[in-house]
Amino acid sequence: MYKLLALNIDGTILKNNGRLPRETKEAVDYVKKKGVYVTLITSRNLLSARKVAKALRLDGMLIAFQGAMIARTLDDRLFDAVIPEERTFNIVQILENFNCNIRLMHERYSLGNRKKVKKNLVVQTVLSSSDPFFYPTQFVDSLGDVLIDEPIAVPKIDVFFAGDAERDEAAAVLAKAVPSIDMIMLPNGKMEIVPQGVSKLAGLRRLAQHIGVSLKETVVIGDGLDDLPAIEAAGLGVAMGNAPLEVKRAADWVTRSNEQLGVAYMVKEHFRKQQRIEFLQKLKTKQ
């Protein structure tokens, strides 16, 4: 019996055009009626995740910033972790020696440099994961200069390189120079920097403990390499049909792609077999 369903956002519940299908909304409603706690587990900022949660009619805790924040709202938090101001400044100083786009992901806004790298992947991310009204983005010529006058601590730093080789070179320098951070390597030259010990899996553990659920009673559905540890640890780990081969191999179940309504398909195939939690608890009481 599964009591917690954790859904990644981009590439999982959203189509490639950023739309949330009606069938996915209906599937989430279906699971909720069975007494299952549904959360989002995402690299996105909390405000952006909250916007998607509102469309799904979810009012519980969300796992955002790769697990650096677990909260309903910015004023109602279960957990948060940040990269301190001085460490953020040191990271930026190092990264500005490389040809890369840097985005400091504050809880209320993002701050990025204007440098353009090949493919300019940051543009795609800005369009897909933020809303100027809810989460404003500002670009400056030199992040280091700005941080001297206005230091900030952030839950996450997104970095975009022209390719994996440049990214790995910068990561090697950061690993030697900056303590107490973790680096999450993603395809197409992207790297996400988070406080040490932060991950989607760590966030899932914290939320599950908070609501009194074991990892064996969780279902995780995702499509990215950053979802892999949580998929492996869950009672039922589900990979989307559009996930990389490594993620599919680690999963217990592979559903259809996000373009083929994979989340709705998985829910209908699996959760229809599960009775409502309240009903099962009544049966246990009678026994």
Q: Output 77 or 135, whichever has higher pLDDT.
A: 77
Residue type, 103: R
Is residue 152 within 8 Å of residue 82, measured between CB atoms? no
pLDDT at 277 over 90: no
Point out the least confidently predicted range of 25-29, 252-256, 269-273. Answer: 269-273
Q: Are residues 139 and 279 in the same domain?
A: no
CATH of the domain at 141: 3.30.1240.10
Q: Are residues 215 and 76 in the same domain?
A: yes
pLDDT at 284: 46
pTM of the model: 0.91
Q: Are residues 89 and 136 in the same domain?
A: yes
Q: Is 199 left (phi over 0), alpha (psi -120 to 50) or beta?
A: beta
Distance CA 63, CA 35 (A): 19
Q: Are residues 63 and 119 in the same domain?
A: no
Q: Kindly report the average pLDDT of the chain as a whole number.
A: 91
Distance CA 226, CA 118 (A): 23
Give the end of a domain, one of 195, 211, 229.
195
Q: Are residues 63 and 159 in the same domain?
A: no
User: What is the number of domains present in the chain?
Assistant: 2
Task: Specify the DSSP class assigned to residue 273.
Answer: G
Helix axis angle, 85-95 to 164-177, nearest 10°:
140
CA-to-CA dists, residue 267 to 27, 29, 81, 207, 279, angstroms: 6, 10, 32, 21, 19
Q: Are residues 28 and 54 in the same domain?
A: yes
Q: Are residues 176 and 275 in the same domain?
A: no
| Residue (of 284, 271, 285, 230) closest to 2 by Cα position | 271
Per-residue pLDDT of 234-254, as tens digits, reads 999 999 999 999 999 999 999
Give the end of a domain, one of 140, 161, 195.
195
Give the end of a domain, one of 195, 224, 244.
195
pLDDT at 272: 77
The residue range of the domain holding 223 is 4-80+198-286
Is residue 238 within 8 Å of residue 221, measured between CB atoms? yes
CATH of the domain at 46: 3.40.50.1000
Q: Are residues 170 and 89 in the same domain?
A: yes
pLDDT at 126: 46
Q: Are residues 214 and 264 in the same domain?
A: yes
Q: Are residues 116 and 187 in the same domain?
A: yes
Point out the least confidently predicted range of 28-32, 70-74, 142-146, 267-271. Answer: 267-271
pLDDT at 287 over 70: no
Per-residue pLDDT of 176-212, as tens digits, reads 999 999 999 999 999 999 999 999 999 999 999 999 9
pLDDT at 274: 64
Region 161-176: what's the mean pLDDT? 96
Q: Are residues 121 and 140 in the same domain?
A: yes
Region 36-63: what's the mean pLDDT? 96
Contacting residues for 111 by C-beta, under 8 A, at least 6 apart? 103, 104, 137, 138, 139, 140, 143, 146, 152
Q: Are residues 202 and 190 in the same domain?
A: no
Percentage of the chain exceeding pLDDT 70: 89
Distance CA 96, CA 8 (A): 31
Q: Furthest-apart CA pair in the chain: how many Å? A: 68
pLDDT grade for 225, boundaries at 50, 70 and 90: very high
pLDDT at 86 over 90: yes
Percentage of the chain exceeding pLDDT 90: 82
